[in-house]
Structure 1
Amino acid sequence: MSQGEREMQLRSGIGSMAVAVMALAAFATACGGGGSEPTGEKPPTNDKSAPGTNAGTGGGSGKSKGATSDFDTVFNTEDRIRQALPDPGAMKGWKPKTGRADIEEQPKSPAECGPDTHWDCTGIADGSVKFEAAGENAYFDIQAYADKKAAEDACSKEKDWSAKHAKAEMPPVPGVESHAYYRNAGSLDGLDLTMCLGTVIAQVRLEDGGGSSLDPATVHTLAQLFVPRIQKAAAAS
């Protein structure tokens, strides 16, 4: 499944709000997720409107020194994917909308994908969740690979792919290779932060739902909630 298809699937929703909340709660309960993680309360946004896809604000973030987010764990089960994704208990102040985890039945090898395919071609599993609050949408996405080498190759491709978009100024996420950029998908402006750690690529997207300033500080805070969950899921037996 391509990045664009995943974004279209996320935006489509899964029915009424009541059904969405129940489905995402069940999604979280299936892996024992809940309130033991950081609260993830929505940080305040400032009044300064962030630029859209064609007006970036400078360089993206690099790898912060001192911390590590390196692991060999392969995220090849739905449970591990679900453990890594934020749940309603971690996202106080946000309304849950959708959640899913998918395992590739027949993942493609690098040879099958070739050098010019999309960066997620060799992925073996992926998952995503969506939350809404105060006129903006927050998406968390994780793409898993068979080993660190495959993930590193995919990260390199993703970075080249995202270079066509306008960069966003954002502090480094501790211990993580990351970069941020503004982009437009389906006529919706958004701010994306991509992080490479261990055997996965993780992304946080803040999208304008009718009132978002696309504040980099919000995305950075959400990323700092996401990374520890991925680390915890990688360390779980």
Structure 2
Amino acid sequence: MDAVPPQQPAPAAVHRNGRGRTAADEAYARLREDIVKGRLMPNQRLVEVDLTVALGVGRTAVRTVLARLEQEGLVVHEPNRGARVRMVTEAEALEITQARGALEALAAREAALHATPEEVAFLRETLTQMSACLRAGDLLAYSDGNARMHAKIIEASRHQTATRLIAGLKAQMVRFQYRTVLVPGRSARSLVEHTRIVDAIETADPDAAEAAMRHHLSHVADTLREMTSPRASPTDLVHF
């Protein structure tokens, strides 16, 4: 019988942790979160040497991570200048909002067909919390509830492709997500629009759910147009 050569250890770049993720996967998740959460700002340089230290992986893994993020539209690489966090222009932000509108309208339609009683109850409770935040004037907490509601609707849709595409689009909106004050008067209208969406999902009416979400997000796009006009305040926050 031929001798069996000793097994070679796996390279460090593909070392797997207990959850089956490679070191490069972990580095990708960490750097992506830093960009999406706004810890790394648009146009900030991403220096390979610095990233190897910060992420604890080799330069080959860092290049793989940067290539993945470039495919997602979160990083841009320029010859002789290296990589940096991609800056989304105001025109692109409007296009992203419009694309999300189409996808989230689809998600609302599918949620009306597939949402469980527990998910509907979660949406109702979130509406109650958002209403309380609005009465208290806590607009940041209202915005947090708004985000939870949209996430639950997307989850309830069971539409994996829409979920993936929406996540990618949301990640590119860092510059516009991290503002501090909601556009005056927008929250009250938003609550009415969200209530109509939840009503349609609860009654399992996919046409009404899709129309209500499309109506809501068309107003978000309109708000973004106003926000990015020369007259807009630099502290407005667009929220979904």
Larger radius of gyration between Structure 1 and Structure 2:
2
User: Which of the two has greater strand per residue?
Assistant: 1
Q: TM-score, normalised by structure 2?
A: 0.23
So what's the TM-score if we normalise by structure 1? 0.23
Higher helix share: 2
